[in-house]
Chains A and B, each alone.
Chain A
Amino acid sequence: MATVVFAKAFRRHVECPDELVTGSSLREVMEGYFVMHPGTRSYVLDELGAVRKHVTVFLNSNQISDRRHLTDALGPNDTVHVFQALSGG
């Protein structure tokens, strides 16, 4: 179980409220979030399922380590922060 929080920059384009989502890995949690809000998937992941080049994902205060497969493990009180990377133009 983790809380998923999107940065304000996403909210201009797609509905992405904070949600409490079940899962023990980042992949499980994000897939759960995408079921709740299907429009958000393509804003976060590319078509191969990797985190977009100009999106950053933090697990609590640290950037995730696996942007391709999202295997980072999550604990019950963790928070996933999804930001726009400052590289993104």
Chain B
Amino acid sequence: MLAASPATTLLVGTRKGLFDFDASGTTPHIRALHFAGAPCSAVLADPRDGTWYAALDHGHFGCKLHRSDDRGATWQEVATPAYPADASDDASGDATTQLLWCLEAGHPEQPGTLWCGTIPGGLFRSDDRGESWSLVRSLWDRPERKEWFGGGFDLPGLHSISVDPRGPGRMAIGVSCGGAWRTTDDGATWELSTGMSADFMPPDRQLDDAIQDPHRVVRCSTDPDVLWTQHHNGIFRSTDDCRTWQRIETAPVSSFGFALAVHPTDGDTAWFVPAEVDEVRIPVDGRMIVNRTSDGGATFTTTRDGLPQQHAYHLVYRHGLDVDGSGQRLAMASTTGSMWCSNDGGEQFQSITDHLPPVACVRWC
């Protein structure tokens, strides 16, 4: 399958707004800032119709969702995913939307369908481009949800939604801390994947699939049986459409981190941004690196070229790394406001800026 043309726009959601980068040249530069001062927690450029969506997290006024039909020239506030009153229970307390953590376009055969992952763990669906949303009760009402707990936040969060291109109704999701799940019937039923392990649990619960902490779950677009996970306790790979996971032990320096990207046309190629484990969460020895495998995790190459190699204390969040449709352009941005890009599949990076607000997400389009 031919790779797509390189992306020409890069959207960056930050603590102080959504930045639109013109990436038509080799070095992206800021074209516009939208929602100045408002935290942008997720962004989507819908590949089916070009619509942009921006999820905001107003500190005072709650989460909001905005839509643009003209690439940011104008924005319209649309409905925000909201929990129905009967979603509250002993496990969740008063269930209300705390964060819109990820936004994904539905399958091309379901135009207008959007998916949104939230804290405290609910998956929401819209079939009208965000005009209305409904909680996916088949997942929310699973008895295992009462075992979920927060990872990085007080409450559980659904951060990864991976639509399977082979047909509408097939999808995988990831929850911190609630494992990785798949559906093949448009969300009517859900299957919990197996094979991850959690060092943060008592010994007899470490293999409990329902409390795993996959920090990020990403599928290969053209090899959709292949998914990768950057888990709290290492890297895992699935080659059977999120049914089972195998641990990858070969990553150098550290296998802890949050972000990952998967090559769009090669399921053996993936990128990771390691950090020193758990209690520290900064680059090992203050040196920023990217680990890349191109053989399914048998071996890794560590890239340092273009990345700071002394006293660098960046952390890249779950959605802070992205690869474009060509598989050649990578963007990576940190909680301390630096961003780097690569035009050669991660062989080398270039610094784009050190002056952004803390970055939540980057997305090529």
- A contact set with B: CB distance below 8 Å: 9-10, 13-14, 39, 42-44, 46-48, 50, 52, 54-55, 84-85, 88-89
In this complex, which of A9, A13, A47 has the most chain B Cβ atoms within 10 angstroms of its Cβ? A47
Determine if A13 and B58 form an interchain contact, defined as CB atoms under 8 angstroms apart: yes
Say yes or no: B61 contacts A13, CB within 8 Å: yes
**Closest approach, in angstroms, between the C-beta of A83 and any C-beta of chain B?**
9
Bound: A84/B64 CA distance, A: 16
CA distance A13 to B61 in the complex (A): 9
Contact A47 B61, beta carbon cutoff 8 Å: no
Q: Mark B11-54, 1 if CB is under 8 A from A, else 0.
A: 00000000000000000000000000000000000000000000
Size of the B side of the interface (Cβ < 8 Å), in residues, is 16
- For residue B1, give the distance in angstroms from its CB to the closest CB of chain A: 43
> Would you call A84 and B62 a contact (CB within 8 A)?
no
Asked whether any CB of chain A lies closer than 8 Å to the CB of B97, the reply is yes
A39 to B65, CA, bound (A): 12
In Å, the complex CA distance between A44 and B82 comes to: 14
B window 90-139: CB within 8 A of A: 94, 96-97
The yes or no answer to B238 lying at the interface (CB within 8 A) is: no
Contact, CB under 8 Å: B62 / A52: yes
Q: Distance in Å from the Cβ of A7 to the closest Cβ of chain B?
A: 10
Contact across chains for B59 and A48 when beta carbons are under 8 A apart: no
Chain A residue numbers with a CB within 8 Å of B64 are 13, 42
Do A42 and B60 form a contact, CB below 8 Å, given A47-B97, A48-B94? no
Q: Is B60 a contact of A52 with CB atoms below 8 Å?
A: yes
B83 interface residue, CB < 8 Å from A?
A: yes
Which A residues lie within 8 Å of B80 (CB)?
42
Verify A43–B85 contact, CB threshold 8 A.
Answer: no
Q: Are A42 and B62 in contact (CB under 8 A)?
A: yes
CB contacts (< 8 Å) of B96 on chain A: these are 46-48
Q: Does B77 contact A (CB under 8 A)?
A: yes
For the complex of A and B, list the 10 residue pairs with the smallest distance between their C-beta atoms, beginning with the closest: A89-B59, A88-B60, A47-B82, A84-B60, A88-B59, A43-B61, A54-B60, A46-B96, A47-B96, A47-B83
Is A39 a contact partner of B61 (Cβ separation < 8 A)? no
Inter-chain CA distance A14–B66, complex, in Å, is 13
Interface of B toward A, CB cutoff 8 Å: 58-62, 64, 77, 80, 82-85, 88, 94, 96-97
List the B residue with the shortest CB-CB distance to A55. B60
Check A84/B88 contact, CB under 8 A, given A39-B77, A47-B83.
Answer: no
Given contacts A42-B80, A47-B97, A54-B60, 17 further A-B contacts (CB under 8 A): A39-B77, A42-B61, A42-B62, A43-B62, A46-B97, A47-B82, A47-B84, A48-B83, A48-B85, A48-B94, A48-B96, A54-B59, A55-B61, A84-B61, A88-B59, A88-B60, A89-B60
Min C-beta distance of A48 to chain B, whole Å = 6
A37 to B88, CA, bound (A): 28
Least CB distance from B290 to A in Å reads 31
Residues of B within 8 A of A39 (CB): 77
A89 neighbours in B (Cβ, 8 Å): 59-60
With a CB–CB cut-off of 8 A, which chain B residues contact A55? 60-61
- CB proximity of B127 to chain A, nearest CB, Å: 20
Is the beta-carbon distance between A46 and B62 smaller than 8 angstroms? yes
What A residues does B82 contact at CB under 8 A?
Answer: 42, 47
Look across to chain A and name the residue whose beta carbon is closest to the beta carbon of B77: A39
Query: Which chain B positions have C-beta within 8 A of A13?
Result: 58, 61, 64
- Which of the listed residues B61, B62, B85, B88 has the most CB atoms from chain A within 10 Å of its own CB? B61
In the assembled complex, the CB of B61 is this many whole angstroms from the nearest CB of chain A, namely: 4
A70–B80 alpha-carbon span in the complex (Å) = 23
**Closest B residue by C-beta to A49:** B85
Q: Which residues of A contact B94 (CB under 8 A)?
A: 48, 50
Closest CB-CB distance, B57 to chain A, in whole Å?
9
- When distances are taken between beta carbons in the complex, the residues of chain B under 8 Å from A84 are 60-61
A-B contact pairs, 26 of them (CB 8 A): A9-B60, A13-B58, A13-B64, A39-B77, A42-B61, A42-B80, A43-B61, A43-B62, A46-B62, A46-B97, A47-B83, A47-B84, A47-B85, A47-B97, A48-B83, A48-B85, A48-B96, A52-B60, A54-B59, A54-B61, A84-B60, A84-B61, A85-B60, A88-B60, A89-B59, A89-B60
